[in-house]
Amino acid sequence: MTSYLENCCIVVSLYLVVMHSNPINCERRGKTLIKTSKNVEDLDFEGKVTLGWTINESEQSVTFELEGETDGYVGFGISPEGKMSGADVFIGGVRPDGSPYHSDRFVPLGETQPKVDIHSNWKLLKAEEVTITSATKRGHNEVTKTYLKFTRFLDTCDDDEDLIIGEGNIKIIWALGEKDEIDYHGTEERGTKSVDLFRRPQSFIDLNETESFDLAVNMSLPQEDGTYWCTFHEGPDLDTKHHVVAWSVILGDSHKFVSHLTMYNCSMHEDDSLVETFQNFTIDKFPGSNCMADFKEEESSDVVAPLEFCTEMLYTWSKGNTELYFPADIGFAIGNGVEPSHYMLEIRFRNPESLPDVNIRAGIKVHYNKKLRPLEAGLLWVGQDTNLGLVVPPSVHDFVIAGHCSPNCTRQFPPEGITIFNTMLRAHLSGRKLKLRHFRHGKELPWIDFDDRYSFNYQQNKQLLRRGHVLPGDQITLECTFDTMWKNGTVGVASLSESDEMCQGYVWYYPVMDVTICGSTYPVEDAFIDFGITKYHNTTTSFGRDTIQIEEPTSLQGEFETVLNTRFNWSSEFRQLLETKRRYSLHQSICFTYTQRMTNSVVHNSKISYPNVAESRLYKSPRGPPCTGKKRESMPDVGVVVRGHTIFSIFGLLVAYFLVN
């Protein structure tokens, strides 16, 4: 028997069918008009602009659904740098008389005004304008949304005025016009976001049906822009194993002041206690501190917080990112019946205007279930160690550094191998391209993941469309391409500070195994020899960074980074030599198992570099039917238009009724 609410929804849906509209999607009412896309993501933080998309690999095409809160035009574009210059643009809407309109446009490099493309390669499938009225305790709220559904080939063969849509992140730009006349949209109703259109759709679940715990802070916003704030949190005391199935963020109105949230797992030697080690530093006793400063209980204290035990990244969020849901058959184990797990929350705050007295609530919510899933996930670190062996010269455009997961290390993997289903590849502000390569028996297999348009401000965990299967004896190499032209002639040295550099990744895989770290390092001693340094000493070690004082030669005396910035001769020949050595010479292998980390055992110390590759199978930007030197024919439009129907939120009306009465 149906409920009164269900009957109301059915009645309203039937009414709208009669009026030639689409019936309400009762499960998504009030959220979005997007109904058919496999992937859905907000392009702004407020949810005013939402994009859905589906890739058709057999036809080599993509279909978008786009909605924006406006009764004017909606603009959408693919951009090389996230700006108007060089963008491939689609603009559409519904006129007051109910007729649809759209245009295919492009913006020449160095310009900002879109021009009409003489070859229209976007096909409009549907245009719809709907006013949604929802009832609240204070009355009614009306929002007008313009909905567009459109499609095009991944590669239109129009190289002059269109961009190829390929794998890896692409920069999406959007704008909302107040009117249907296509003119300047203003500075507020626009934005940009990096999106990987080829990622696997997330397995959404009802988070209200999970148990959860929070890693969150209630604090005043630091007045220094870019502050990294670290806090420690005790997880739930679980007697038996549970599976984490999703992560979400806690932000609310604080979103404008937070650019990154990262959760780290803390682990220690098996004979030590997490509870005892962190007892004076958990959030209920210690408010946290600047991650990059001396992290002490008090200014006068010599007791430093145990940051070094919290290095395993579990989840990271950046502005524009979404929640992370594990696939329906995979979970991550927490709870051992011994003592609660401990975690570190790292928040990067934005306060460019140094605003005082701003209250912040921000953090991460971890969702878990007692019911275990069939597959258990593990987390593997790959890449190059973040030490002073990693140095990026000043004023370079495409400097490549590599970190190798060696065959000797992967031989400790399970006999059936591991399957990588999610990745988080990381560099800092100079990072431009990231690539996780895969080698087996002298052949290069398809890359596990890559990002040719990496942006530090849009980091995200990525569900892989094609999962990587790594067997014992395989090699994985992470390559990072850097550009330091923005640094005004200064070097990029390795540290956890965003103004410095790193080249590393975290990959989620199944089944869980004992190996937790598989990478390499360019030996620091060899690095100093490259720079002609013959004598030095280590003065201090702070979170994420060694401070080195050069003693000899006398011409290079001083702090390592300062000397490289002010007195070292960065000739073009030396820059090339440095890249060749860092990339192709032998690295020291790093291979830790969980047991070795917990018992401080000696790690594998073999040498590793690139394998001798006889054959490569690489991912390239996809093309549809072969381009024969001619641009594809323009697509005809099929416009299905609905204008002016008002959808009342029955649920909102009932809630308002009960609240008032």
CA 154/CA 62 separation, integer angstroms: 6
Provide the 3-class DSSP secondary structure of residue 209: helix
Beta strand extents in 74-153 (DSSP E only): 74-79, 88-94, 100-106, 115-116, 123-136, 139-153
Angle between helices 4-18 and 650-660 (to 10 degrees): 140
* Tokens 């990622």 found at: 199
90 plus 63 within the same structural domain: yes
385 plus 532 within the same structural domain: yes
| Domain termination site, one of 327, 349, 374 | 374
* Residue 19 pLDDT: 36
Residue type, position 581, single letter:
K
* Residue 405 pLDDT: 96
Q: Residue 360 pLDDT > 70, yes or no? A: yes
Residues 6+ apart with CB under 8 A from 265: 310, 312, 313, 314, 341, 343, 379
**Of the listed ranges 117-121, 345-349, 615-619, the one predicted with least confidence:** 615-619
CA angle 143, 148, 150 (to 5 degrees): 165
Residue type, position 555, single letter:
S
* Residue 661 pLDDT: 45
Q: What is the CATH number of the domain that holds 538?
A: 2.60.120.230
Contact 519, 435 (CB under 8 A): no
Q: Residue 15 pLDDT > 50, yes or no? A: no
For 575-627, give the DSSP string. Answer: HHHHHHHHHHSPEEEEEEEHHHHHHTPPPP--EE-----SEE-------SSPP
Residues 6+ apart with CB under 8 A from 174: 43, 44, 49, 51, 66, 68, 74, 75, 76, 77, 190, 191, 192, 193
Residues 6+ apart with CB under 8 A from 301: none
CA distances from 428 to 94, 222, 504 (A): 42, 22, 10
Residues 6+ apart with CB under 8 A from 429: 456, 486, 498, 499
* Residue 199 pLDDT: 82
Q: Which two tokens stand for residue 172?
A: 């999406």
Residue with the bigger pLDDT between 467 and 33: it is: 467
Does residue 37 belong to any structural domain of this protein? yes
Does residue 500 belong to any structural domain of this protein? yes
Per-residue pLDDT of 188-205, as tens digits, reads 788 988 888 888 887 778
- The total number of structural domains in the chain stands at 3
**Of the listed ranges 24-33, 67-76, 101-110, the one predicted with least confidence:** 24-33
Q: Which helix (H) or strand (E) holds 55?
A: strand 49-56
Does residue 628 belong to any structural domain of this protein? no
Q: Where are the alpha helices (DSSP H) in 85-162?
A: none
CA 480/CA 434 separation, integer angstroms: 5
Partners of 136 in the beta sheet?
Answer: 139
Q: Residue 294 pLDDT > 80, yes or no? A: no
Asked if the bond preceding 553 is cis, omega within 30° of 0, the reply is yes
Per-residue pLDDT of 524-549, as tens digits, reads 899 999 999 999 988 755 444 567 89
Residue 415 DSSP class: T
Q: What is the CATH number of the domain that holds 263?
A: 2.60.120.310
228 plus 320 within the same structural domain: yes
Does residue 162 belong to any structural domain of this protein? yes
| Residue 20 pLDDT level (bands cut at 50, 70, 90) | very low
* Tokens 């600047």 found at: 290
Partners of 451 in the beta sheet?
Answer: 434
Q: Which helix (H) or strand (E) holds 541?
A: strand 535-542
| Domain termination site, one of 343, 374, 405 | 374
132, 149, 146: which is closest to 12 by C-alpha? 132
* Residue 595 pLDDT: 66
Report the 10 Å Cβ neighbour count for 282.
Answer: 16
Per-residue pLDDT of 267-291, as tens digits, reads 876 667 888 889 889 999 999 988 8
CA 19/CA 10 separation, integer angstroms: 14
CA 647/CA 23 separation, integer angstroms: 10
Does residue 625 belong to any structural domain of this protein? no
Does residue 259 belong to any structural domain of this protein? yes
Contact 66, 146 (CB under 8 A): no
Report the 10 Å Cβ neighbour count for 185.
Answer: 18
127 plus 235 within the same structural domain: no
Does residue 132 belong to any structural domain of this protein? yes
76 plus 49 within the same structural domain: yes
* Residue 147 pLDDT: 95
**Of the listed ranges 113-117, 145-149, 409-413, 475-479, the one predicted with least confidence:** 113-117
| Residue 455 pLDDT level (bands cut at 50, 70, 90) | confident
Q: Residue 135 pLDDT > 50, yes or no? A: yes
Give the residue-averaged pLDDT of 373-390. Answer: 92
11 plus 143 within the same structural domain: yes
Length of the chain: 661
502 plus 651 within the same structural domain: no
Residue with the bigger pLDDT between 455 and 96: it is: 96
* Residue 338 pLDDT: 75
* Residue 423 pLDDT: 92
Give the residue-averaged pLDDT of 58-71. Answer: 93
* Residue 651 pLDDT: 40
Give the residue-averaged pLDDT of 66-85. Answer: 90
Q: Which two tokens stand for residue 355?
A: 């605003």
Residue type, position 637, single letter:
D
Q: Which residues of 187-203 are buried (b: 16+ CB within 10 A; e: fewer)?
A: eebbbbbbbbbbbbebe
Q: Which two tokens stand for residue 135?
A: 């009832």
Q: Residue 654 pLDDT > 90, yes or no? A: no
Does residue 533 belong to any structural domain of this protein? yes
Contacts made by residues 95-102, CB under 8 angstroms, sequence distance 24+: 95/180, 96/180, 98/641, 98/643, 98/644, 99/639, 99/641, 100/124, 100/127, 100/637, 100/639, 100/641, 101/127, 101/180, 102/127, 102/148, 102/150, 102/637
359 plus 459 within the same structural domain: no
pTM, two decimals, is 0.78
CA 656/CA 654 separation, integer angstroms: 5
| Residue 605 pLDDT level (bands cut at 50, 70, 90) | low
Residue 405 structural domain: 378-616
Mean pLDDT (the chain) is 82
Q: What is the CATH number of the domain that holds 63?
A: 2.60.40
72 plus 188 within the same structural domain: yes
184 plus 223 within the same structural domain: no
409 plus 478 within the same structural domain: yes
Residues 6+ apart with CB under 8 A from 257: 221, 349, 350, 351, 358, 360, 362
The percentage of the chain sitting over the pLDDT mark of 90, rounded to a whole number, equals 46
* Residue 648 pLDDT: 39
Laid out side by side, the sheet with 535-542 consists of 535-542, 545-552, 558-559
Give the residue-averaged pLDDT of 473-491. Answer: 94
Residue with the bigger pLDDT between 598 and 370: it is: 370
124 plus 181 within the same structural domain: yes
Q: Residue 304 pLDDT > 70, yes or no? A: no
Radius of gyration, CA atoms only, the chain = 27
* Tokens 């063969």 found at: 157
| Domain termination site, one of 341, 374, 407 | 374
Contact 147, 33 (CB under 8 A): yes
Beta strands 74-79 and 88-94: pairing type? Answer: antiparallel
Partners of 347 in the beta sheet?
Answer: 229, 261
